[in-house]
Amino acid sequence: MHLWLRAAISSDLLLLVTEMVIIGVSLIVFLVLLCFFLGWMERKVAAFMEIRLGPNRVGPMGSMQIVADTVKLLFKEGLTPNASDKFLFNLAPGIMVVTSMLAVAPIAFAKNFQIWDVNIGVLYVSSISSMAVIGILMAGWSSSNKYSLIGAMRSGAQIVSYELSIGLSLISIVILSGSLQLSEIVESQANGWWLFKGHIPVIISFVIFVIASTAEINRAPFDLTEAEQELTGGFHTEYSGMKFAMFLLSEYINLFIVSAIAATIFLGGWMPLHIGTWASFNHIMDFIPSSIWFLGKTFFIIFIIMQFRWTFPRLRIDQLLNLEWKYLLPISMVNIIIVTAMAIFGWHF
Amino acid sequence: MSASIVIFYILAAVIIGGGLLAVTERKIFRSAVYLLFSLIGIAGLYFYLNYEFLGAVQIVVYVGGIVVLIIFSIFLTAESGDDMKKPNLWRVTFSGLATLFACLLVLWLIQGHLFVSNTGTALEPNVRNIGRQMLSTAEHGYILPFEVVSILLLAAMIGCIVIAMKIKPKT
């Protein structure tokens, strides 16, 4: 692709700009279509869990329902409250979407198909996701609404504290694979995924990662920023129309990123399922394209996280912070010591 | 003009513009947001120099840590939504003089410094090499400063816990 463009465009600056535009546009289109799909999937999973049909009127299987919703949101007036800080109020949804889109860059979608194979991939993703909290705090403060402010504070406290568990659970795999680069982590799983190779400690860190990332992206059962009965709409109470839709968009992109990272780190990314010495079985698995492996694993984890929403009741704020600081954090710290011992003595496969 | 120079000037504009706006803005929360842009610009500069590790650390520490801390402390103090008072002329003059002096000092140092190009082979700045260098006891190793800083941070952490801890009064 690069060489082909290089032949067509001679100017250095123009080449860079063209490549950036191509990648940017295709990324945005992909993510928006993905969010349409996730919105539809969310409703269908909800309906499945509650033994209903879900959306079934607009389009086949209700698949056009989300398009109709988007058109409705487009036509809705984007209100800006008089008392709000107008500049920050309008900036906040943009920051939310941009930060969540930035984190997609180092994810390997298929074999040799990656936007930016940065040598600190894991650190990059966690650093970018730590920026999301700024957008939330900005939205909550600039609305000049009590509910928004309290919602933003809770959400901020939640994200800041659960980030620790996410980081520690990712570090356990970084220790085992010896690299922060996502492509190398995927390569290290060629003879088996870390979830199977790493015995019980890796399974523990996988479970911690899924719990903590569900909290980090503010989804149920940790969605107390959006607890209607206490805080109306949390930090986005005052938002309407497309500005609200942008929060929704960033929420779904975050869901995708979290699942993609879990699939890459623990489930081998685009690596097909290989079992030890079963040569013929491994050969058949190699015929399935790597993009299907990656997307299949990602959507499996998305499916699990969506099921949480209809399975567990919402936590209170003190229960939420207790869970993180008194259970998840000590467990993951002890877990890291065990994983380090495993890596040093070579107890994993 | 090549692409890299354009990118450098955009980054420089973000850093300097963010810094200036952070100082001149009357609303304190907006100042914090402009400071955020300035810090992100500096992280961008590290990415531009292909030093991704430092760029990511800059974002984790400054954007994810310090700016969030500043914003929380703004929330917890009163009147965060009102305009701040205009500083009096005395203060403006002296802070202006201090800034001017600092600028001149930095310019003078840069002018006087001889930039010798390094002839040694460049070490790839990946995490493995950084970690080895941090914990190396050989010459040019950073084990001593590393340990001193870690003890300092440990002391700060224990101090925070002691301050925040509630001790139940004996009945």
According to the model, what pLDDT value does residue B81 have?
63
According to the model, what pLDDT value does residue A279 have?
76
* Backbone phi, psi, residue A113, to 5°: -130, 90
Q: CATH fold of B1-81, please?
A: Four Helix Bundle (Hemerythrin (Met), subunit A) (1.20.120)
- Cβ-Cβ contacts under 8 Å, A134 against chain B: 33, 36, 63, 67-68, 71
A103 contacts A129 by C-beta, under 8 angstroms: yes
According to the model, what pLDDT value does residue A227 have?
66
% chain B with pLDDT above 90: 29
Interhelix angle for B28-48 vs B3-24, to 10°? 160
Q: pLDDT tens for residues B28-66?
A: 888 888 999 999 999 999 988 888 888 888 888 888 888
For A10, A139, A336, B67, B156, the CA distances from B33, given in Å and listed in that order, are 40, 12, 36, 8, 27
% chain A with pLDDT above 70: 94
What would the mean pLDDT of B115-132 be, rounded to a whole number?
A: 76
Nearest to A18 by CA among A28, A29, A8: A8
Interface contact B2-A120, CB threshold 8 A: no
DSSP A277: T
Q: Where exactly are the structural domains of chain B? A: 1-81, 124-171
Give the C-alpha separation, A149 to A171, whole Å: 33
Most confident listed range (A77-81, A132-136, A216-220, A272-276) = A132-136
Give the C-alpha separation, A24 to A157, whole Å: 32
Give strand pairing partners of A113.
Answer: A110
Token pair recorded at residue A26:
């295709």
Global ipTM = 0.81
Q: pLDDT tens for residues A229-277?
A: 666 767 777 788 888 888 888 889 999 999 999 998 888 888 888 776 7
- Residue matched to tokens 């692709």: A1
A117: Cβ contacts below 8 Å, ≥ 6 apart? A106, A108, A181, A182, A183
What would the mean pLDDT of B135-145 be, rounded to a whole number?
A: 82
According to the model, what pLDDT value does residue A3 have?
67
* Mean pLDDT, all residues of chain A: 84
Q: Is A310 helix (H, G, I), strand (E, B) or coil?
A: coil
The nearest alpha carbon in chain B to A145 belongs to: B81
Token pair recorded at residue A118:
């940065």
pTM: 0.88
pLDDT of A155 > 90? The answer is no
According to the model, what pLDDT value does residue B141 have?
79
Interface contact A119-B127, CB threshold 8 A: yes
Phi-psi group of B77: left, alpha or beta (phi > 0 → left; psi -120 to 50 → alpha; rest → beta)? beta
Question: Which of A17, A82, A96, A118 to mutate: most B Cβ within 10 Å?
Answer: A118
The nearest alpha carbon in chain A to B6 belongs to: A13
Q: Where are the alpha helices (DSSP H) in B83-142?
A: 89-112, 127-134
- Cβ-Cβ contacts under 8 Å, B61 against chain A: none
Nearest to A342 by CA among A170, A173, A210: A173
* Mean pLDDT, all residues of chain B: 85
According to the model, what pLDDT value does residue B126 have?
75
Q: pLDDT tens for residues A16-66?
A: 788 888 888 998 999 989 998 998 898 888 898 888 888 888 878 888 888
Give strand pairing partners of B27.
Answer: B83
A203 contacts A159 by C-beta, under 8 angstroms: no
pLDDT of A228 > 70? The answer is no
